[in-house]
Amino acid sequence: MQEYEQLKTLIAEIESDIQKAEGGNKAAGTRVRKQMQAIKQASQTVRNKILEIRTTD
């Protein structure tokens, strides 16, 4: 499922910024929050796709 692969990619991309944010980098923290919003939206897309698959069966 392409939507799930995109979600995994978003999560992998955020890892270095999370480490920087934990070290006190405020700009990295801002990037993390922005990326987390994108992850939330991608998660909702995956959820909707799964529901769509379930209802067609």
pLDDT in tens, 1-36: 899 999 999 999 999 999 999 999 999 999 999 999
- pLDDT for position 12: 95
Q: How confident is the model at residue 43 (pLDDT cuts 50, 70, 90)?
A: very high
Mean pLDDT throughout 26-55? 95
Whether the CB-CB separation of 3 and 42 falls below 8 Å is answered with yes
The count of domains in the chain is 1
Domain hosting 33: range is: 2-56
Residue type, 25: N
Whole-structure pTM value: 0.83
- CA of residue 49 relative to chain centroid, distance: 16
- pLDDT for position 1: 86
